Amino acid sequence: MYKRQVLASAVTDADGRVGDLGPDALAAGAYRLTFDTAAYFAASERQSFYPRVTIDFDLADEAAHYHVPLLLSPFAYSTYRGS
C-alpha cells in the first residue's frame, strides 16, 4: 500500500491558477492532487455537487514538466495532462 505524504499545498490566484507547486523535482511514481472545490465555491457563495476533486496520476519522466488542469463548474469537472 502507498504511504501518503503531503508534499505541497497552495491556493489558486485570481485567475484560478497555481503558478508554482513545489518541490522543484519529483521522483517517478504515483501522485495525487486534491482540490478543495467546496471552499472555492463557498468563497463566492455558490454550492457545488463535488466538495473535492482528487486526481491520481503516475509521473513517469522525472525531467518532464507536468501541467494538470482542472476545468470546473458547480456540477461537473474534467481534467487532462496539459503541456
* All three cell numbers of 45: 457563495
Which pLDDT tens digit goes with each residue over 17-27? 888 887 888 89
- What is the extent of the structural domain holding 39? 30-79
- Please tell me what DSSP assigns to residue 1: -
Give 11-50 pLDDT, tens digit per residue: 988 888 888 887 888 899 999 999 999 999 998 999 999 9
CATH code at 46?
2.60.40.180
Domain count, the chain: 1
Whether the Cβ atoms of residue 25 and residue 64 lie closer than 8 Å to each other: no
- Containing 63, the helix (H) or strand (E) segment is none
- The answer to whether position 36 is within a domain reads yes
For the chain, the C-alpha Rg in angstroms (whole number) is: 14
Domain membership flag for residue 23:
no
